[in-house]
Amino acid sequence: MGNLMTFNPTALLVIEHNITGLKYFCKTTRFSNINHYKGSGLYWKRHMKKHGKDVKVGILGVYFDKERCLSAAKQFSEENKIGSNIEWANLIPENGMDGAPMGEQHPMFGKPSPSIGQKRPWVGRKGADNPMWGKPSPMRGVPKPKGMDSPLYGRERPSGAGKKSNPVMRIDADGTETKYDSVADAGRAMNGCRTRIHQCCNGKAKTAHGYKWRYAEEIA
């Protein structure tokens, strides 16, 4: 009963990418969305980001006993050489628990990454030893995401760039009008939120910060 009291029911899963065929061995304790679980491994998530999330989930087994779960995960990892087989996205063997232990207890402590020379042959290699040395970037010629083709991408936006703001008028209770260059300036002057002022100017609110507001061009 001790294991049942301290061990959460765990499902061991085999997730396979429908496009690339790459597989990922993992576990989850969330059964409400088990058929939609995508996995959380770093390399696996990068793979899905590149090739999409079209995957299928296979349930290897559900375990209510800690020792049986550990034994099943270890056996499956050893039989399929999880962590070193290029058919799997796992960089270390799945142990059926939450993550791998730290320090010297980690199964990969003091060992080179199993991805060297396999999935990512350039990992850990510099200069002429890197297979990508002297080769063009694989991203060359690939269309940039929307917005990245802008000459301002990655740079500080210059003052005044973009659409010109509309001046707004603050109308006091006695009819006195005060002009501000933009909704943002008015919000700063009121030491408050500019959203309410914007809503007032667009007829979605009657007042903002105790005043009525309208765009300057509407007052002629």
DSSP letters spanning 90-128: -SS---SSSSPPPGGGSTTTTS--TTTTTTSTTTT--GG
pLDDT single digits (tens) 41-60: 778 888 888 888 899 999 98
pLDDT recorded at residue 123: 53
Tokens 């991203």 correspond to 139
168-218 shares the fold of 2-123? no
Band the pLDDT of 2: cuts 50, 70, 90.
Answer: very low
What gap in Å lies between CA 76 and CA 79, rounded to an integer? 5
pLDDT recorded at residue 172: 92
Helix or strand run (H / E) with residue 214: strand 212-215
List strands edge to edge, sheet with 177-180: 177-180, 168-171, 212-215
Is residue 120 exposed (0-12), middle (13-18) or buried (19+ Cβ within 10 Å)? middle
Q: Tell me the pLDDT of the chain averaged across its residues.
A: 77
The answer to whether the CB of 21 falls within 8 A of the CB of 85 is no
The answer to whether the CB of 104 falls within 8 A of the CB of 18 is no
Q: Where are the domains of the chain?
A: 2-123, 168-218
For the domain made up of 168-218, give the CATH fold: Arc Repressor Mutant, subunit A (1.10.10)
**170: which residues sit within 8 A by CB, 6+ positions away?**
177, 178, 179, 180, 186, 211, 212, 213
Lowest mean pLDDT of 82-86, 100-104, 168-172, 193-197, name the range.
100-104
What gap in Å lies between CA 201 and CA 181, rounded to an integer? 14
Best CA proximity match to 119, nearest among 38, 53, 23: 23
pLDDT single digits (tens) 73-99: 889 988 988 878 888 888 776 665 655
pLDDT single digits (tens) 174-188: 999 999 999 989 988
DSSP letters spanning 137-148: PTTTTPPPPTTT
Best CA proximity match to 53, nearest among 17, 106, 88: 17
Q: How many Cα atoms are found within 13 Å in the side-chain-facing hemisphere of 218?
A: 14
List strands edge to edge, sheet with 55-63: 23-28, 10-17, 55-63
Looking at 3.40.30.10, 3.40.640.10, 3.40.1440.10, 1.10.3470.10, the CATH number of the domain 2-123 comes to 3.40.1440.10
